[in-house]
Structure 1
Amino acid sequence: MHDNRELVEERIEKLRERVAARVYTVVAPLEASAWQVPGEPVPFADAAAAQYRPFPIDTLWGPAWSTWWLRLAGAVPAEFRGERIELRIDLGFVGDWAGNQSEGMVYTADGWPLKAVNPMNRTVPLTFGALAAERPLVSADGVVDLFVEAAANPDMTLKLGQSTPEGDTLTRSDRPVWRFGGAELVRREDEVWGLHMDLDVLDGLMRQLPEDSTWRATLLRGLEVAADVLDAEGIVAGAEAARALLLPLLESGAAGSAQRMTAVGHAHIDTAWLWPIRETRRKIVRTFSNVAALADEYPDFRFANSAPQHHQWVKQDSPEVYERVKRAIERGQWNFVGGMWIEPDATMPSGESLVRQFTSGLRFMQDEFGVTTDCLWLPDSFGYSGQLPQIARLAGMRWFFTQKLSWNRTNKLPHHTFWWEGTDGTRIWTHFPPCDSYDTIVSADEVLGAERNFKEKGLAKHSLLPYGYGDGGGGPVREMVERVRRFADLEGAPVVTHGTPAEFERAARAEHDPQVWSGELYLEFHRGIFTSLIDLKQGNRRSEAALQAAEWLATLAAAGGSAYPAEQLEDLWRRLLVLQFHDILPGSSTAWVNREAIAEFKAILAEVEALIGSAWEALSAEGGATVLNPSDVERAEVVEIDGGLQVVRVPALGSATAGPSDHGAAWAPVTLTTDGGQVTLDNALVRVVIDADGTISSLVDLGEDRDLLLPGCSANVLRLHPDHPSCFDAWELEAQYLRSGEELRGVDSIEVVLQDPLRARVDITRRFGASSVVQSVSLDAGSRTVDFEALVDWQERERIMKVGFPLDVRAKHALAEMQFGHVERPIAANTSWDDARFETCGHRWLHLSEPGYGVTLTTDSGYGHDVTPAGGSESAPTAGVNARLSLLRAPNSPDPAADRGQHRLRYSLTLGTDVAASHAAGVRLNQPLRVLPGTAEVRPLVALTPVGRESFAVLDAVKTAFDGSGDLILRLHEAAGARSRIRLDLDGDVQEVREVDLLEVGVDDPTQKLPATASTLELTLRPFQILTLRVRRAS
C-alpha cells in the first residue's frame, strides 16, 4: 500500500477549517451604534440614557482601558423564527487568549445581564436555553434590541518584557486599540457542530499516536472516508452521513489499562495583573455569566472556583448573575475549592495573614452558601511555605492542588501525587496535575501529553484535568465540554470524564499510598518577586504589624467595656488579603495595579491607626505619655520622646510611663571617635569601624573579643548588578547577575549627625548615575545591634542593588523566618537543588550560626536574600559566609516605572544571637514601641515563659472570637524547632480554656491537656506547632 499519510493529514486539516466555517449560518446582520463612556465604567441606566452614534464594521475604537456601550438592533427573518438563533459578535478579537483583550457583556434592553463575549466565546443564545426560558429575548415579531458593555482592554501579554505606557490610564496613548468586526444573528447547524467536534477529537488523537500505530492508521482512514463523503455531498448536507461513519471510531472503547482523568471546569481569574481590580470585577461577572450559561446547557458539566472575594464582588456588582451562580451551587455543578479569600502569594504573607485567608474564605462560603471545601487550591502561586500543610490542615483542608512547580527551570519534582510533609511534620495529600496546567482546553495533545507525563503511572491511574480559559478569565466553553464527552471512552486515549475535585480526590486517594516530599516547595523561577516593588513589601509588613497591634489593643479595650470593632477589623483584614494576591504583593502587575495597591496600603494603615487611637482613648486618661509594647517580647530600648532620647523598659504586651528613668543607668555610653578618615562607634558591647569609603571594616563583639568580619573584607557594601532576565522582568531574577556588578565605594560625604550618650549615628552619602543614597549607621547604648538605614533616590533601570555582610561565621545552614517559624536552608550549593536556590525568601530575620555563636540580619522592607560561602582561599583559608539582602530592583515590565523614586530601607545586624534573639531583633525593627499621649497601665492579657531547655514560643495573635461571644483567642507557635515546654499565664479569672482550630471551633483530638479552669497553663508543643486557644473569662 502506498504511503500517502502526509497528504491525507494535510487534507483533514483543511477539511476541519472548512467544517468550522460552516457551523453557523448567518441569519441577519445587526445595526450597531455606540457611545464612548467619558471616564470610568458606568451602570446600565446611565448607558441606556446616553446618545448613540452609528458604529459600522471596521470602526476603530479605544483607547486602552476605555469603555464603550454598543446598541445592537435588528430582526430575525420570518423564515428563521422558531429556529435556534444566537447573537454572534466580533469586537475586534484576535488570537486565542480569552481574557487579555477586548471583552463584552451583553444586556437586554431593560438591563438584564445575559452572557459575555470574548475571542473564544463569541455567541449568546437568544431563542433557546435557560436565559430565553426565563424571559423572551426576541420579540414575537422577531425584533432584537440588545446592549453590549465593551471593554477596550489592551493585550498586555504582547508587551511582557517591553516597557510600555499602555498599562495605566495615566500614561496610555489616545490611539484606538481595536477594530469592530460586526454583530449578526446566526443559526447553529447542529450536525455540522457535532461533526466539527468529532473531527477535532479524532484528528487530534490521531496526530498524537505513534506513526507506526495501527490505531493511528485506522483513525486516519476513517477520517479520509468521512472527507470523501463531505466532498461529494457538501459540508451541511453530508454532515450527518459523515458523523455516522465516524461514530464507530468514537465508540471504540478505551483500554482497560487506560488512565482516568477527572475533567473539572475552572476559570483562573487573577485578582489583578495586567489589568486593575476594577476590570477584574467586570471580568468575574463576565466569566461567571458564561459558566452559569454552560452549566444550564450541559447538566453533566462540573465547575470548581476559588476566591470567595470574587463571589462577593459579583454579589455587589451583578445580583442577577449571582443568583444564577447560587442555582448552579444548589445543583452541585458549581463547587468551591481553595478555602482562601483570594489565591495569595504563599511565601511572603505572615502566618497570621494565611490564617485569615482561610478564616475569611471559609466563613464566607458557609454564611453565604452553606458549603465548605477541604481542598487547598493554589495553582499559580510562586512557591509554597513549609508551614502551609499545617496551616491548611488546621483550617480543615485534606488535600492540596497546584501545578506551579512544573515551571521549575532546573529540577523537576519526581511526583505528581504525593504526601507533602510540612516543617512541623504535618502531611497533606497533594496532587500536581500531569497536564502541568490549570487552564487546559482538553485538546488531544494536552490529554495524551498528561498521560505520558504522569509520574505515578504504574502505581496510580487517576489525575485531575482542569480546563477553561484562565488568568484573564473566560472559563470553560462548549468546545471543551464536548471534547470531554468524546474522550469518555475512546481507544488510544485516557478515560476523561466530568467530575468534581472531591470525586477525583476520593478515587485517587483510594488507589495507593504515595511517597513523601518534605519541606518547602521552592519554585525555581520568579525569584525577583521577593524584591520587586519594595513599596508593596513595606506596605504589607506595616499593615500586618498594625493589625496585630490593633486587635490586641481593641481586645484590651473590650475587656474594659468598650465595643470590639469586629466589622471594621474584618473589613481591613480582607482588604489586606486582596493585596496579598499572587500578582499584587509580588510586584508583577501593571503600573495601574501597583499605584492603586500602594494607595490602598496607605489607606489601610491610616484606618488601622485610627482604630488603635480609639482603643487607646478608651483605655487611657489625659496627661503625660505612655510607651506601648504591642509585641510578645520584653523590650529595653532607646526611644525618642518629645524630641529627646530616653531608655524605656516595657513588658511584653504591656506599657511603661514615658519619662526620665534610670533603666539605662548601668549601660555604658556610646562613644564616637574619628581617626584618619575612620569613624568608630563603641558602646562597650559592640565596636563598629567605618572606613573612609563608608563601608565597615571591623565589627567586633567586645564580650567575645571577636571580629565578625572575614579578614580583608568590608561590610554594609552596596553592590549594583545588571538585571536582565530572559523573560518576565518583574518576576524573574536569573543567576547570571551574580557574575557581574560593581561595588559602590565612592563617597560624597561622611557626616556625624548624632553624638549622644544613648545613640551615635553616621551618614554616608553616595551618588551613582542618576541615583543617590544616604546610608546611616547607628549604634544605641546597651544594644548588640547595629542599625542601618538607606534613603535611596532610585532612578536605575534593569539593575538590582544588594547590601552584603561577609561574616566570619562557620555556618552551614541559613535560618530564615517564615510563617510560624523558620526554614533551614543549606548554604553550600552541593546539589542542583541547592544551586537553584540562589535567591530565597525570608520574613523579618536571617540567622547564621556556628556552634555557640550566631548573628542575625533583620529587615523591614523586602523579602529576598542570598547566602553563599565566602573566604576559604589559599591566602585566607578561613571560610565564612556572605549574607546579602536584596534592597531594590528596577524592572521595565509590566510597570515601566517600577521602584523608581524615593525609598527608606531599614535593616540591622545583631551579634551573639540564637533563634529567640533573632525573633526579638525582627520584632524590634518591624513592630516598634509606640509612644502615645495619655496614661494607662496596660497589664498583659497573656504571658509566655519557656520552661524547658531551648524551649521557645511566639505569640502571634491576641483577639476576640469571630462569633461575638467576647471569648479571647490566642494563637501561638513553637519557634525554636524543638519540643518546647511553655508556661502560659492569663490575666484574670478563667472560666474555660479550649484548644480550637483556625475557625475557632473545638478540635476532636486536642494536643494539650488543659485544665477546665486555670489562669496558668503548662503547654508542650512539638517543633513548629501552631496552637490556637479559646479562653472564656469569668464574668
Structure 2
Amino acid sequence: MHDDRNLVEARLARVLKERIRPAVHPLTTPLSVEIWSTPGEPVPVAEGLAAPTRPITPGTPWGTPWGTSWFKVTGTVPAEWAGRTVEAVLDLGFTPRTPGFQCEGLVHLPDGTPVKGLHPRNSHVRVGSRVAGGEQVHWRIEAASNPDLDASGVPFQPTPMGDRTTAGDAPQYVLGEMRLAVFDETVWNLVMDLEVLGELMAELPVDGARRFEILRAVGRALDAVDLQDVNGTAAEARSRLAEVLAAPAVPSAHRISAVGHAHIDSAWLWPLRETVRKVARTASNMTALLAEEPEFVFTMSQAQQFAWIKEHRPEVYAKVKKAVADGRFVPAGGMWVESDTNMPGSEAMARQFVHGKRFFLEEFGIENDEAWLPDTFGFAAGLPQIIRAAGSTRLLTQKISWSRTNSFPHHTFQWEGIDGTRIFTHFPPVDSYNCEMAGRQIAHAAANFKEKGVATRSLAPTGYGDGGGGTTREMVAKAARLRSLEGSATVEWEAPADFFAKAEAEYPDPPVWVGELYLELHRATLTSQAQTKRGNRRSEHLLREAELWAATAAVRTGFPYPYEELDRIWKTVLLHQFHDILPGSSIAWVHREARETYVRLAGELEDVIGAAQRALAGEGTRELVFNSAPHARRGVPAGSASAQAVQGGTAAPVPREGGGYVLDNHLLRVEIDGRGLVVSVYDRAADREAIAPGQAANLLQLHPDFPNQWDAWDVDAFYRNVGSDLTEVTALEAEGGAVRVERAFGGSRVTQLLSVPADAKRLDIDTEVDWHETERFLKLAFPLDVKADRYASETQFGHVHRPTHQNTSWEWAKFEACNHRFVHLDEPGWGVAVVNDATYGHDVTRAVRTGTDAGTTTTVRASLLRAPRYPDPETDQGVHRFHHALVPGATIGDAVREGYRANLPERRVTGAGAAVPPLVTVDDEAVVVSAVKLADDRSGDLVVRLYEAHGGRARATVRGSGFAADRAVLTDLLERPLPDTEPPATADGAVVLALRPFQLVTLRLPRA
C-alpha cells in the first residue's frame, strides 16, 4: 500500500507536467511581433503607440536595464478554430521567478485602451470564447525590462543594477514565444482538480481514510487519461474526481476569508516611477479578472497608488472606479502608503490616515475601518490611538510572523496602546500576504491558528505581491474547489470589512496585548540610509513650522495660507515613509532620488516659513526671535516671536590638568580628556555625576556588521561580540566656545564639536562623519551612573518603556530598538536624557560594577551609521551630520522639551520689533501642542492638536490669542466633530481639558 501511495503521487506529478498541462493549449500559431525601445525614461502611451517598430523574433535579446520597449503583436485567428476558445500566450522572456521581480507588460488595444497586465504567472490574453475564425488580433504591449537583482541565484549580492546610472545597457531578457492558442477549458479544469487534490493529499495524515479516498480517485482519473489524446479524455478523468471533490468540509473546519491582494511596495527593488506602472498593470489585471469571476473580491491599499493611477492612467482608473462602485475592488487601510510605523513622527503618522482616508472618501465615498499593514517592520505603541482617532478600529498585519526569537501568542486579539486605546487586530495564520491558495498554505493556516476552540476564522490575502501581479485565475479556481472540501479549511471570497465583522462577532472578548508590536527582525532598518532618515526628520519639523507660522500669519495679517503647497509636500513626505524607503531598504536609485527630494522640499518649506515670518515681523531693522517648539524656553514663549534680548553663547573651554578641556557654565561641569572623551558630566545642583566611574561618554564604537541575511534590513546580535573603541585623536583643540575633536579610522574621518550652552544644563555634541567603511556599524556610547530597570523612548504622542535587562527571550530580542527625539532613564529624583536630531536606532544595556562601588552602569548607545551592500552597494558612503545632547538631571518633561529643542532651532528675522504673541497657549507643560494649522476644508477655522506627554493625568487650559476659544469642537484626525461627544468644558473664553496619560486631542476653533 505504501509503495502504491508513493507511485500515485509521482505519477501525478509527471503526468501533470509532461502531458496534461501542455494540453491546455493543444493548438497554437505564431504571432507577428515588432519592437520599439524608448531611448530613455518611459514615454506617454500615445507616444509609445505611435512609435515606429522593427520586426523581432523569439530568441532575440531585448531590454536594457530599467528600459521600456513597446511591442506590436498582430495575427489572425485560423478559420479552422471557429467555435473554440482562443487566447494569446505572450512570453516576454519570463524567468521561473515569481512576478514583480523581472520583466512585466501592460497590453493595450491600438487605441490605447488597457486590456490586462502580463507577468510570468499570468501571460494569457483572451481573444474570444467562441471565435468565428478569421478575427484580426492587434495589441501593443508596454514592456518594462526591470533587472532581476537576484538573477545570479545567490540572494543579497551587491549589484550595480540598482540604479540606472550604473546598470549599463546590456539586454536583460530574451524574447519568448508569442502565439495564439486554443484554450481547452476542460483540460485546464482537470489541472485545477488534480492540483487541489494532490496538494490536499500531501497535507492529510499519511494513514488517514480521506487521503486514501483521494489517492484512489486520482489514480482512477489518471487511468482515464489517454496520454495520446488528453483533450479527448479529460472530461472522463474529471468525472472520476467529482465524488471526492464534492465531499463537504466538516462543520468544525477552519474558515478562511480570502481576499484578492497584490501587496505592491511603493518602492523597493525598483524606483517610484516604476511602481506607478506596476500599479497600473496590476489594477488592469484585477479589473479583467473581476469581470470574469463573479465571486472574486479584490482589495488594494495605499491611497497614493490609487492617486498614481488617476494621474497617470485615467483609462485604468475609470475601470477601477467602476469596480469600486460595484463593491468588488475594495480600497483598504485608509493610509496614504503602507508606511513604516516606528520612525514617522506623531503628526506624520496621523497624516498618513488623514490623507489616505480623505482620498478614499472623496474619490469613492468609502471610509475604511481597518488599518492594512501586512509588511511593516513592527508597530509602535502609539499607533492604536492614532488609528482610533482617524475613525478606524481594526488592524491587519502579517509581518510579526517573521520574528526569529519568539512566536507571537495570538492571531486575533485586542492591541492596547500607550494611552489605553484598544483596536481589534488580526495576523493571518497563513503567514503570507502573497497566498497562492496552495494546499500547504491552507493547511498551515488551519494548523497554525492560535485561537482554535474560541474562534474559527482567519483571513488570507491572496495574490502575487511585493512587485505586484495580483490574483490569478488559477487561484480563483482553487478557492472555488476549497469552498467546502473534506479535509481542508473552507475558503470564501470576502472583503476585509466582512471578515472583521464576523471575526469580532464570534470572538467578543479576545486576549489583550499591551505595548509595541516589536518585530524580532529587520532591526537595522532603524539606521540604514542615514540621509534618508535625516531628510524625513527635517521635513517633519519644517512642516510643523510651516503650518504654525502660516496659520499665525493668516490669522494676524491675512497671509494667504498655502493649502495646495502644504498638501502636496505632506503627501510627498508621507510617500517617502513607505516601509522600504524610510527604513533604508531600497535600491540606490530610490535613495538617491529621496535625498534630492528632501533637499527640494526643505527649500520649499523654508520659503513658506520665511514668507509667513516676514509677514508677522513687518518692516523694520529689529531682530525677532521666532520659537516653534511646544514649550517656552530662554524667555521666549512657545509658538511666538519676541524682540527681547536672549542670552546665548556657550561656556568657554578651559584646559584640563592632564590634558583635554573643561566646559563649565556653573550649572554643569564637563571634563573632556586628552582622547576627546567625556569623562565627567557633573550636575552641580544635584551634586551628582552622570558618567559611570572609570567610563567615558562620547565614545564612538565600531563593530563588524555582516548579518546572516537581509543586509540592509538586519543586524544580528552577534555583532556585539567584536568591536573597537575609537579613542585615537588626530586633533583636539578649543574652537570658539566648543572643543573640537578629530579622529581617523579605516577610510573615514570624524569631526566633533562639544559645547555647553551658557544658560542650560546640557552637553551638545555635533558630529560629522565622512564615512567610507564597508559592513561596519558605528555607535555613539554614553555609559551613565544610573540604576534603571527600564527606560523611556519617545514614540508617537508619548513614550514607551522598555526594560534594560534581559530576563526573558522577549526582552533579549529587543537588542536594537527605536526612539524618536529622546531616550530617558532615571532613578527616583534624578534622571538623564539623550536627545538627537536625526537618529532612531539605539540600544540600552546595564552592568553591575565590581569592587567596593558595586553600582550599576546603564549605557545608552545611539546608532549612527551602517554600510550594508545590498540592495545599495554604496549605502551611506559620504558625509553625515548628527546632533546629540546629554541632559543630566532631566525629568521626562525635560527630555520632551530638549527633544523638540534639538529639532526646532530658533529663527531670527528682521522686522518692526513688535512681539508676536502665540496664536494658542496651553498652561500645562505636560500637554504638548503637536500641530497648529488652518482647517483643511478652508473654512478658516483653526485646528490645534495636542497630547499629554509625560504619561500622567493633566488638566490644561487652551487659550486663543485674539479670538475666543470657547466654541471649540472636539474632532477626529480628519477634523470632523466626534460623534456622541460633549463639547469641551470652557472658562473665561478658553477650553479646559482633562487628559488621561498620553491622550491625543484635536480641537477645532471656529474664528468667524
Q: Does the pair score TM above 0.5?
A: yes
Distance in 1, matches of 2:26 and 2:620, equals: 82
**Who is 1:650 aligned against?**
636
2:837/2:903 contact within 8 Å kept: yes
Distance in 2, matches of 1:94 and 1:981, equals: 63
**Who is 1:49 aligned against?**
50
- Pair 1:341 & 2:336 matched: yes
Q: What whole-Å deviation, never above 9, does each CA across 1:701-754 have from its counterpart, x for those lacking one?
A: 122222211111111010000001011111101100111110101111101111
Tell me by how many angstroms 1:1008 deviates: 6.5
- Tell me: CA distance 1:578–1:44, structure 2 relative to 1, closer, same or farther (3 Å): same
Distance in 2, matches of 1:363 and 1:200, equals: 43
- Pair 1:993 & 2:989 matched: no
**Who is 1:965 aligned against?**
939
- Tell me: CA distance 1:245–1:425, structure 2 relative to 1, closer, same or farther (3 Å): same
2:80/2:133 contact within 8 Å kept: no
- Tell me: CA distance 1:605–1:237, structure 2 relative to 1, closer, same or farther (3 Å): same
Determine helix, strand or coil for the equivalent of 1:855. Answer: strand
Please, which moves more after superposition, 1024-1033 or 230-239? 230-239
> Which sections of structure 2, spanning at least 5 residues, go unmatched?
none
Q: What whole-Å deviation, never above 9, does each CA across 1:409-434 have from its counterpart, x for those lacking one?
A: 10111100001111111110111111
1:67/1:151 contact within 8 Å kept: yes
- Tell me: CA distance 1:236–1:141, structure 2 relative to 1, closer, same or farther (3 Å): closer
Match of 1:980 among 937, 954, 964: 954
Counterparts of 1:92-107 in structure 2 under 5 Å?
92-107=93-108
- Pair 1:924 & 2:922 matched: no
Match of 2:785 among 804, 808, 816: 808
- Pair 1:148 & 2:141 matched: yes
- Pair 1:634 & 2:632 matched: yes
2:78/2:134 contact within 8 Å kept: no
**Who is 2:814 aligned against?**
837
Distance in 2, matches of 1:1014 and 1:75, equals: 83
**Who is 2:356 aligned against?**
361
- Pair 1:578 & 2:553 matched: no
> Which sections of structure 1, spanning at least 5 residues, go unmatched?
130-137, 637-648, 755-759
TM-score by length of 2: 0.97
1:28/1:75 contact within 8 Å kept: no
**Who is 1:896 aligned against?**
873
Counterparts of 1:390-409 in structure 2 under 5 Å?
390-409=385-404
**Who is 2:9 aligned against?**
9
Distance in 1, matches of 2:534 and 2:981, equals: 37
**Who is 2:985 aligned against?**
1010
Tell me by how many angstroms 1:109 deviates: 1.8
Counterparts of 1:583-662 in structure 2 under 5 Å?
583-624=580-621, 625-636=623-634, 649-657=635-643, 661=645
Distance in 2, matches of 1:668 and 1:255, equals: 77
1:284/1:314 contact within 8 Å kept: yes
Tell me by how many angstroms 1:617 deviates: 3.1
TM-score by length of 1: 0.95
**Who is 1:567 aligned against?**
564
Determine helix, strand or coil for the equivalent of 2:708. Answer: coil
Distance in 2, matches of 1:871 and 1:346, equals: 34
Tell me by how many angstroms 1:141 deviates: 4.3
- Pair 1:124 & 2:125 matched: yes
Matched to 1:673, the amino acid is P
Match of 1:942 among 912, 920, 930: 920
Tell me by how many angstroms 1:398 deviates: 1.8
- Tell me: CA distance 1:885–1:245, structure 2 relative to 1, closer, same or farther (3 Å): same
Q: What whole-Å deviation, never above 9, does each CA across 1:986-1010 have from its counterpart, x for those lacking one?
A: 2123261111111111112437742
Match of 1:1027 among 992, 1001, 1008: 1001
Distance in 1, matches of 2:531 and 2:370, equals: 33
- Pair 1:315 & 2:313 matched: no
Q: What whole-Å deviation, never above 9, does each CA across 1:472-505 have from its counterpart, x for those lacking one?
A: 0000010000111000010001111111111111
Tell me by how many angstroms 1:15 deviates: 1.7
Match of 1:197 among 192, 195, 205: 192
**Who is 1:70 aligned against?**
71
Determine helix, strand or coil for the equivalent of 1:969. Answer: strand
Counterparts of 1:415-426 in structure 2 under 5 Å?
415-426=410-421
**Who is 2:464 aligned against?**
469
Distance in 1, matches of 2:491 and 2:412, equals: 18
- Tell me: CA distance 1:128–1:607, structure 2 relative to 1, closer, same or farther (3 Å): farther
Q: What whole-Å deviation, never above 9, does each CA across 1:823-868 have from its counterpart, x for those lacking one?
A: 1101011111000000000000111110000111011111000000
Counterparts of 1:450-469 in structure 2 under 5 Å?
450-469=445-464
Give the paired residue count: 1000
**Who is 1:757 aligned against?**
none
Determine helix, strand or coil for the equivalent of 2:968. Answer: strand
- Pair 1:954 & 2:928 matched: yes
1:263/1:498 contact within 8 Å kept: yes
Distance in 2, matches of 1:739 and 1:1015, equals: 61
Determine helix, strand or coil for the equivalent of 2:483. Answer: helix
Determine helix, strand or coil for the equivalent of 2:985. Answer: coil
Distance in 1, matches of 2:599 and 2:650, equals: 39
Distance in 2, matches of 1:26 and 1:843, equals: 63
Distance in 1, matches of 2:628 and 2:609, equals: 11
**Who is 1:781 aligned against?**
758
Determine helix, strand or coil for the equivalent of 1:4. Answer: helix
Tell me by how many angstroms 1:140 deviates: 8.4
Q: What whole-Å deviation, never above 9, does each CA across 1:542-590 have from its counterpart, x for those lacking one?
A: 1000001100111112112222111111111001100000000000000
Tell me by how many angstroms 1:63 deviates: 2.0
**Who is 1:687 aligned against?**
669
- Tell me: CA distance 1:59–1:836, structure 2 relative to 1, closer, same or farther (3 Å): same
- Tell me: CA distance 1:663–1:2, structure 2 relative to 1, closer, same or farther (3 Å): closer
Q: What do you get for the CA RMSD once the two structures are aligned?
A: 1.7
**Who is 2:60 aligned against?**
59
Distance in 2, matches of 1:218 and 1:233, equals: 27
Tell me by how many angstroms 1:822 deviates: 0.4
Counterparts of 1:209-288 in structure 2 under 5 Å?
209-231=204-226, 234-288=229-283
- Tell me: CA distance 1:752–1:232, structure 2 relative to 1, closer, same or farther (3 Å): closer
Match of 2:545 among 540, 544, 549: 549
Matched to 1:977, the amino acid is G
Determine helix, strand or coil for the equivalent of 1:592. Answer: helix
1:956/1:971 contact within 8 Å kept: yes
Matched to 2:631, the amino acid is V
Please, which moves more after superposition, 233-242 or 30-39? 233-242
1:82/1:127 contact within 8 Å kept: no
Matched to 1:221, the amino acid is R
**Who is 1:645 aligned against?**
none
Tell me by how many angstroms 1:761 deviates: 0.3
Matched to 2:143, the amino acid is A
Distance in 2, matches of 1:465 and 1:588, equals: 26
Distance in 2, matches of 1:938 and 1:377, equals: 43
Tell me by how many angstroms 1:945 deviates: 1.4
Distance in 2, matches of 1:42 and 1:496, equals: 42
Determine helix, strand or coil for the equivalent of 1:156. Answer: coil
Deviation >6 Å, runs of 4+:
none
Distance in 2, matches of 1:600 and 1:1027, equals: 32
**Who is 1:643 aligned against?**
none
Tell me by how many angstroms 1:318 deviates: 1.2
Q: What whole-Å deviation, never above 9, does each CA across 1:225-254 have from its counterpart, x for those lacking one?
A: 000000377311111111111111111011
Determine helix, strand or coil for the equivalent of 1:205. Answer: helix
Distance in 2, matches of 1:519 and 1:651, equals: 34
Matched to 2:972, the amino acid is D
Distance in 2, matches of 1:1027 and 1:526, equals: 33
2:66/2:164 contact within 8 Å kept: yes
Distance in 1, matches of 2:652 and 2:897, equals: 22
Distance in 2, matches of 1:58 and 1:534, equals: 44
Distance in 2, matches of 1:833 and 1:674, equals: 45
Determine helix, strand or coil for the equivalent of 1:22. Answer: helix
1:96/1:120 contact within 8 Å kept: no
Distance in 1, matches of 2:947 and 2:929, equals: 7
